[in-house]
Structure 1
């Protein structure tokens, strides 16, 4: 299937920051940039990768343009409802445990959230130990946008929740603790898998989105612009972010999202 072309708002999204500490707050994995080696052995294979295609569902987007915080709250509530419905049914069919994530919406960044200081310039993030998705209702990532980027961001952070539910996070953290040479690369594998899982979801609801080919091309442009810079190689290059998103989108299956066995060049 040809990826339907992302033109609307292609503003560069806010750079997100994350730390890996005793527990992991995942917006971005801000680890020291270390040289990439051979393809890294995967954490214990997650059952998520064998669950088959995500069923096609409907998820109409409430408009975001104008309306301020009440409108963004409405949008995020609707999208989270779609994600919970889709992924809970998918995991249940595969015999896997599902837990609905907690969602916390903020009118503006707070001093502390989930027990830690709010990451600087964070668009959105997932608190792993508390299974909590955190979204500011303001900022360039979501206010007055007409493109698909907010939907992709929410689905990406939800991907981190799926990684926690299905053992990916535990395997990733174990590898990071034991393999200090490839921490940065492992972090990118983790983040690019969430990009791919966001593509799986958007692929499953694409027919209900009333979007044009130009809208999809615009999303590709935004993702490409959100790639790593030379100093913070945490999420992958713009080209690799687009590539993994499209893999998930085209396959509509988590099986396409095995970033752990991909060559280093595919997760650079």
Structure 2
């Protein structure tokens, strides 16, 4: 089973390695579900209004309320987009934990493995509301974290998840590149989600720049280099269009 390596910022629990040590081989993807998905032709996400609910430092109750509100915003942005693409609607469910569980979605977890995880089978996002995650909840990190998991849900609905799971690979390098294409696409879809509601958030551009700084901490052989993460998140945010998130047709250098 392939795993989506969206890990805690700065985590070494998954054996992440510096991006500079990862060599990008040429491994073209030929599955049309990935390279020519109908999601890419649906156009930009519609501009929608999103009112962020107040969230307090290290306060689980307000964090749950905040995330429930973010999920409503994401549903409003993506429902017409999925309709336009001719994809079946499927709502995301949210569940929470205050510490890393021993097991979730059929997987055994270790300390600091993930701070959020999308379970494709139940279409549920688990948010681990740890003290560290809620240390500075007023920035965009918490919003984007759920938006990235929602991006994985969109990949699931579009058939991208299953096609990625079924891709054959001939080496560990090819497998790692496939994983990077999947994870970087989720970053890009999250960026598009943020663009769709950006005007209503009334946040300064500095908040987006700060978010990119934190996202670079997710770099690794399966997550992508810092440059690749910044590039794909930026492509989604710049265009607001899932059509800009076709990592599967990109040259290997763009998904290093």
Name the structure 1 match of 2:227. Answer: 239
How far did residue 63 of structure 1 move?
2.7
1:197-251: per-residue Cα shift (whole Å, max 9, x none)? Answer: 00000011000111112212211221223322xxxx1111111111101101111
The 2-side partners of 1:101 and 1:193 are apart by: 18
1:145 to 137, 159, 172: 137
Whether the 8 Å CA contact 1:43–1:168 is kept in 2: the answer is no
How does the TM-score come out when normalised to structure 2? 0.86
Partner SS for 1:135:
strand
The 2-side partners of 1:61 and 1:83 are apart by: 12
Name the structure 1 match of 2:254. Answer: 266
2:124 to 132, 147, 156: 132
Partner SS for 1:134:
strand
Whether the 8 Å CA contact 1:32–1:184 is kept in 2: the answer is no
Check if 1:95 corresponds to 2:86.
yes
Count of aligned pairs? 240
Pairing of 1:183-194 with structure 2 (within 5 A): 183-194=175-186
1:95-130: per-residue Cα shift (whole Å, max 9, x none)? Answer: 221111222111222222223323531110111222
Name the structure 2 match of 1:43. Answer: 31
How far did residue 32 of structure 1 move?
10
Give 5+ residue unaligned stretches, structure 2.
8-13
Check 1:194–1:241 CA distance in 2 against 1; reply closer, same or farther (3 A cut): same
Check if 1:73 corresponds to 2:61.
no
Partner SS for 1:133:
strand
Pairing of 1:1-268 with structure 2 (within 5 A): 21=1, 24-28=2-6, 36-44=24-32, 45-66=36-57, 68-121=59-112, 122-175=114-167, 178-181=168-171, 182-228=174-220, 233-268=221-256
1:31-86: per-residue Cα shift (whole Å, max 9, x none)? Answer: 99985321522432221111111000111222323361101111111111111222
How far did residue 184 of structure 1 move?
0.3
Partner SS for 2:25:
coil
Give 5+ residue unaligned stretches, structure 1.
1-20
Q: Which moved more, 1:249-258 or 1:216-225?
A: 216-225
The 1-side partners of 2:213 and 2:222 are apart by: 19
The 2-side partners of 1:174 and 1:41 are apart by: 12
The 2-side partners of 1:171 and 1:209 are apart by: 35
The 2-side partners of 1:166 and 1:26 are apart by: 16
The 2-side partners of 1:155 and 1:256 are apart by: 16
